[in-house]
Structure 1
Amino acid sequence: MPNIVIVDDEAIFRRGLSSMIASIDAEWRVVGDARDGYEALDLLQDRRPDVMLTDIRMPRMDGLQLQKIARERFPDLVSAVVSGYEDFAYVKQSMQHGAKDYLMKPIEREELAKLLDRLKAEVRERAERRSAAPEWAKGDQRRARERASEHLAAALARGAVGEDEIRQLEEELGLRFDAPCYACMIVKLDKQSVGSERYGRADPSLFQLYIQQFVQEVIDRRTTGFSFVLNDSEVVAMLNGEGGADAMRKHLEMAESIRLQIKSLSDLTVTIGVGRLSPGAESLAASYREAEIALLRRLIVGGDKVLAYERMEADGTTLAHAEPREWSWEALERAIADGRPAEAEERAREAAAELCRKAPTPQTVHRHICKLVIRCYELASEWGVAKAWLGEKDVRELLFDVCSVSASDELTELCGSLFGRLAGCVAAAGADRPADAVAKAIRYMEANYAESITLGRMAEMLYLNPAYFSALFKQKTGVTFVERLTAIRVEAAKHLLAATNALVAEVAERTGFRNVRHFNRVFKGETGVSPTEYRERMREDVGGS
């Protein structure tokens, strides 16, 4: 007995259609109805019907968005569309999203009977295909996307994204990342736009899946990238593009388009943090951290905005530009940077007490302290002491702790302890930090280029934050970590090609390249010729001499 759900914003239509289905074919069972896409997704999750019959025009989430999400989340679901004549242009889009058939309003009994017969046949055919298909073939694309999402999320958390992760995305999902630069965008759901009651009743992942599907659709239209659900309130987008201010401007315009369209097509609002666009896959981790830092400003400036890291200074929301000089944050920051805990604690107490006396409202006090915390978190990350400073606590938890303090003496004590401890972490790290981390990294790469070396693992060996180490390496050498590692490996490969008879595949393996195809591409990009051509030229030169 096939099951069906009905989705339409008119209650009388849902009841009428349910009765008509029951009277036409007793084998069909209507297991629920919903008035919009959000309710429908909950219903699909709970009842797992065989068929969904949905209207196009509905408030909050329309039928097109519903079909896109349902197709991803419930791949075995058969969908059909109910549409008015004026909506017929949308029917074509529905068919592209997997709808098997449609009915035009007002519904004729005979037409509905024919549709039910076609849908029943489709349900049976799918069931037969599922039972006949080998287990390994079921849901391969979805599982590949899930694997890629989990792998990339873990790499971002470690601060160690590199070419290996990009190649995996290309191989598993058939994507191509040909442009030289990468950036990260974090799209965060503003939960207040959902309502606490609605959010509490719904499966939070459904909201994120809706946002992720929407983000990926915009990315596919405008650039190259991959989006995935990070947690119950955030979607991450990895973007690939050319460098320069114009490319970054286009990414910010795309983020603003995502924000506005989600807001106009549903009752949801999102806040989007955007990291900088930088060369090399290893820059993704740094861009992700920048997007996180930009997103933290949501506590200061409010939600439903695009917050770009590169605009933090220009729009007056960084510490140096936003804080009046009378609060003495600059002196505090110097004490922290120099690793003077006692002075930092005293400066923090004095500044917090003065802020409590002079600020017009408690909200102003919290806003200024939150700005300082964000600034110090950014510095702590660059110095590689964020973990030591915060321990197991997330910086967002720290910001909420600050905003929960309502007494001036408690806030003064909290600031003194917090920033004094940070200065102590800086002092401790200063004694142990390598005198020349970049030089040590280069020596290690030259001695171990055949091994799997990543920026994240290298930074961990040097007791440095990966993003800070990446920026330091570029500052000291003028090239990225991956560019220098690649150059070292190519030089070693050139020596092996000229001095030995080893196969090209063996040369690739002995110099740290994953596979010979990747080696050929990189080698030609660095030298202008293929490995085989290089070997032939070198031997011709030797023979001629």
Structure 2
Amino acid sequence: MSKVEVVIAEDELWIRSMIGEMVEKLGPEFHVVCEVGNGEDAWSYIEESWPSIVITDIMMPRKNGLWLAEQIATQELPIISIIVSGYDNFQYAKQAMRFGISEYVLKPVNEEELHDALRRSVQRLAGLSDTRQTIARIQKFAETLPDLAQTEVQQAIDHVVNETYRLKVPGHVRSKLLNALSNQMNAFLHGIDSGYPVRPLEAGTEAEVRRHFQGLIASWIDLYPKYANQHVRMAIRKVCEHLDEHYAKTYSLPEAAEMAHLSVSHFSSLFKKSTGLTYLNYVNQLRIEKAKEELLAPEVKIYEVAAAVGFASLPYFNRIFKQLTGVTPQEYRKRLGI
């Protein structure tokens, strides 16, 4: 089985950690890539990284789980949502079903029930493989756009559009995918020039769709010299410097993008190009490097180290530490004779 990336959105810290442990106990192919306490932060991560499965509580601050499920359903993203709730209320179940959610797990969460829901979700993902591959192409395009020369943008967009039209999917699904590509390009152009008039993709014939993308390419060629200006890249460097100094404070992806005065999409692309990592992975790696330094002091407890570098959950800290170093914090200390 290929890697299954799971996002957990749950505002109760101990439940969030418990669910994460349950997920990764199911098998090595399951990876918890993000743990957040509200739907808004989960959506920010989804827009950047497109996970396989989202496990979300219903009642959360800022944006709840039903709002999150609605965003995924409205955008028709090839992501499976699993609702976890302590409210045995059929009204919630009915609302969840409206968004195409068939997995509804009640609290307290039973490990076997969650595992069964995850297995069924993986089976459903198999039916979305073509769509997920196209989403991956769009992601790849967005990530490589900062590196593309003016003449290469045409070829890259044509490739994604051609592959999208080859898909054997309903027309409305194809339209959503083409919209996603258009939105990525528009966001990037707007990030270069805040005065750029965003041009959404209108439903139309294949020829009209291709003309729309030709217009976006023309705008890219026009704005490229401004993009090449060093001040845009300097903005990313300043964000990195701020994170290096304030690594224990949690900044959401939109907050980091705002620091750079860039759109989320543009910031994500430039950040990955500049650092080689997604924003979340950069922050995690930074924190783990700081944690290694803190672990050298034998009198400091591991949970104190986790809190000092910005992890609200000890189990999550342990998992990320092992993912990045291959050992647990305790094993790391033993290897150093601490």
TMscore range, shorter length: 0.3 to 0.5
**Highest relative contact order (Cα 8 Å, sep 6+), 1 or 2?**
2
Q: TM-score, normalised by structure 2?
A: 0.47
Structure whose CA Rg is larger:
1
